[in-house]
């Protein structure tokens, strides 16, 4: 009986995959999304609203203006590239915390950086590397994919452990969905290493397309690593080692430079 339920779960997932497999822009990777971007955006907007109430929002006019300028410009590239989803409403916020050399993104287009990041960010092009990376997480649907992964993990566990009890299918699914929601909402970081590497690549293309020189990325990531020595920030913690990242930058740079030279911005 246990196996029957397990295979039923596998079949349901396979059926979903026929309708829910999507392609990540730029990299062309296939990804499975078992949650709609709209559902996720609504949940993330609520959580981001709470975070803004509970945290100190920076009133540093220089930082705030810089993030708005760079964020709006890269977001405009996403909109112009037809990669923009109607469920995305871009919002850029600087949180006050000088100890955090960090940034994060949430589904629905919520992007935040901490004031500590400005110890390493010197120019708009530097900030564009980070903001491009965060925007790439949103556009690539990494939140939905992560949610799906955890939902499947939870669903597999539920199917096995409840395989012989009296719960009917709809109850099981409800529990699975509720479990997935509570464990993944707010757990959108750290992303897997794959997501981090992909966000680096897509982000570099976006920032170059927005007219920011991608070559600053090489030095910028070195400074980030140096600044975070001994205390890697969350959004770097799953990043590849410096040598691996530099290798990837070398691979992506010709395309990024082409985008930069063609940029009208
Ligand atoms: Zn990231």
User: pLDDT tens digits, residue range 60-83?
Assistant: 999 999 999 999 999 999 988 877
pLDDT of 32 over the 90 cut? no
Mean pLDDT across 15-34: 77
CB contact set of 193 (below 8 Å; sequence gap of 6+): 238, 239, 240
Q: Which of 50, 134, 201, 229 is catalytic?
A: 134
Ligand 1 centroid to Cα of residue 134, in Å, is 6
Ligand 1 centroid to Cα of residue 258, in Å, is 24
| Burial annotation 164-201 (CB, 10 A radius, 16+ → b, else e) | eeeeeeeebeeebbebbbeebbeebbbbeeebbbbbbb
Of the candidates 179, 192, 237, which has an alpha carbon nearest to the alpha carbon of residue 31?
192
Dihedral over alpha carbons 64, 70, 72, 75 (to 10 degrees)? -140
Which region among 106-110, 153-157, 164-168 has the lowest average model confidence (pLDDT)? 164-168
Ligand 1 centroid to Cα of residue 189, in Å, is 8
Q: Give me the pLDDT at residue 176, please.
A: 59
Ligand 1 centroid to Cα of residue 238, in Å, is 8
Tell whether omega for the bond before 190 is within 30 degrees of 0, i.e. cis: yes
Ligand 1 centroid to Cα of residue 170, in Å, is 35
pLDDT in tens, 89-140: 999 999 999 999 889 999 999 999 999 999 999 999 999 999 999 999 999 9
Q: Which residue has the higher pLDDT, 19 or 31?
A: 31
33: how many CB neighbours lie within 10 A of its CB?
A: 19
Ligand 1 centroid to Cα of residue 10, in Å, is 30
**Residue 217 buriedness (CB in 10 A; 0-12 / 13-18 / 19+):** buried
CA angle 130, 34, 18 (to 5 degrees): 115
Q: Report the C-alpha gap between 243 and 260 in whole angstroms.
A: 24
| Burial annotation 239-265 (CB, 10 A radius, 16+ → b, else e) | bbeeeebeeebeebbeebeebbeeeee
The answer to whether 104 and 134 have CB atoms below 8 angstroms apart is yes
- 50 as an active site residue: the answer is no
Q: Which residue has the higher pLDDT, 238 or 147?
A: 147
pLDDT of 190 over the 80 cut? no
pLDDT in tens, 198-253: 999 999 999 999 999 999 999 998 898 888 775 555 455 555 566 778 888 999 99
Beta strands in 77-147 (DSSP E): 91-95, 103-106, 110-114
232: how many CB neighbours lie within 10 A of its CB?
A: 16
**Residue 15 buriedness (CB in 10 A; 0-12 / 13-18 / 19+):** exposed
Helix or strand run (H / E) with residue 21: strand 21-23
Domain limits of the chain? 2-33+143-182, 37-141+189-262
Full-model pTM = 0.79
Mean pLDDT across 176-186: 51
């Amino acid at each position: 009986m246990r196996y029957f339920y397990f295979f039923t779960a596998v079949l349901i997932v396979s059926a979903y995959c026929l309708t829910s497999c999507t392609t990540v822009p730029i990299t062309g990777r296939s990804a499975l999304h078992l949650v709609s971007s709209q559902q996720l955006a609504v949940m993330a907007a609520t959580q981001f609203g709470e975070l803004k109430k509970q945290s100190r929002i920076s009133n540093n006019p220089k930082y705030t203006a810089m993030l708005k300028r760079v964020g709006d410009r890269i977001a405009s590239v996403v909109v112009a590239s037809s990669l923009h989803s109607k469920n995305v409403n871009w919002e850029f916020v600087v949180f006050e915390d000088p100890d955090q050399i960090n940034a994060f993104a949430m589904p629905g287009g919520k992007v935040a950086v901490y004031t500590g990041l400005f110890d390493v960010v010197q120019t708009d092009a530097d900030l564009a590397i980070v903001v491009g990376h965060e925007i790439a997480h949103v556009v690539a649907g990494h939140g939905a994919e992560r949610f799906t992964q955890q939902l499947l993990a939870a669903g597999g566990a539920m199917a096995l452990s409840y395989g012989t009890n009296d719960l009917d299918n709809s109850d099981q699914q409800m529990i699975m969905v509720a479990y997935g929601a509570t464990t993944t909402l707010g757990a959108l970081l750290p992303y897997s290493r794959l997501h981090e590497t992909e966000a680096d690549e897509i982000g570099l293309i976006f920032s170059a397309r927005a007219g920011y020189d991608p070559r600053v990325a090489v030095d910028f990531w070195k400074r980030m690593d140096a600044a975070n020595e001994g205390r890697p920030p969350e959004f770097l913690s799953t990043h590849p080692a410096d040598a691996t990242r530099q290798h990837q930058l070398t691979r992506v740079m010709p395309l990024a430079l082409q985008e930069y030279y063609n940029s009208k911005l």
